[in-house]
Structure 1
């Protein structure tokens, strides 16, 4: 492709966070409808409120991408109700600990960052693959990014394959019986419904692929 890789800076991270905020706002009703079927009907509105607050952070007031990611995580924890705030907040906080220095990223760095984010979510929410949560979208995305990195592939390829894997993981939640979160109260009745958290996570990975790959995907 020969596209110039954008350096990871507070500015590029801000572009990604603003893009994800816009996508969440666009899909807020859909996410809330999914949550109405198996949860408490607030995932879309909660995520939109939190990401609006994150998108309002001025990248010029942060000296590095890491600082902005850390603030984004803390903002989500403090502004988003339910489980989503702590889980997504933890995700961005973990990213900030891996993306320590600005500069041109590698596929390995982004795979490691996503992997750390996944580990944080698992530690916080105690969910695993198959529980019908956002982990079902993020875990395959991490595996896909790691594989591209191991093969010496590009950042763009790692993120594109991660996004595809996240979408497949999201779709796989439809036939799952929820074992975590509010949906788990429904037992077998949770089957046949797409998980809202897996849906918002797939949108996040797709946004990263669009904004951090060096050109429009």
Structure 2
């Protein structure tokens, strides 16, 4: 399965729909260690993304993901807008003018997105952030060429955040009290890759 603009648009539409369903769950996760608005913020942002994309030609994959990025940066509050926006923006930059990507090629672009997040948030794997789901998911996509494997790795990464103490973000203020809670950013990342698997099926 190659990913062209239509497949990436299907990915974004799935994310928007799933965020509408999971918004309350993500907010509850965030309420345990953060501000309690992670799901609501992302759901609002992706609804704006879909408003902008629907009815227009999606253009190249890079153009589509840049539109996603800029809309999220301008409409999503908290840390998630800049972080997810940077992820999609840096991935778009790596795409250039290419019209279609194998899963492994898409992973290479998404690795650029991870590097952007790390520069912005100064976080690493093990800090109890979205990166704990994102890094293994993209690694699985690069290694196995399977979005299903990537989605499974994201879910495993999400579960692995539960026993961790947060070292970055608002949750880090809680110290040891952050242990025992899943990271909401890792949860939304798992949702993202579940939709990538669906878009690629």
The TM-score normalised by the length of structure 2 is 0.94
Where in structure 1 are there 5+ consecutive unaligned residues? Answer: 149-154
Judged with a 3 Å threshold, the aligned counterparts in structure 2 of structure 1 residues 104 and 66 are, in CA distance, closer, same or farther, namely: closer
Q: Deviations over 1:161-192 (max 9, x none)?
A: 11111110000000000001110000000000
Matched, 1:193 2:181: yes
Corresponding residue of 2:29:
34
| Greater Cα offset, 24-33 or 54-63 | 54-63
Number of paired residues? Answer: 200
Structure 1 SS opposite 2:162:
helix
Q: Runs of at least 4 residues of structure 1 off by over 4 A?
A: none
User: Are the aligned partners of 2:2 and 2:102 in contact in 1 as well (CA < 8 Å)?
Assistant: no
Aligned match of 1:119 in 109, 115, 122?
115
Matched, 1:161 2:149: yes
Matched, 1:81 2:69: no
Aligned match of 2:192 in 204, 210, 213?
204
The TM-score normalised by the length of structure 1 is 0.87
User: Are the aligned partners of 1:38 and 1:182 in contact in 2 as well (CA < 8 Å)?
Assistant: yes
Aligned match of 2:48 in 53, 69, 76?
53
For the pair shown, the structure with the greater C-alpha radius of gyration is 1
Cα offset, 1:108, TM superposition = 2.2
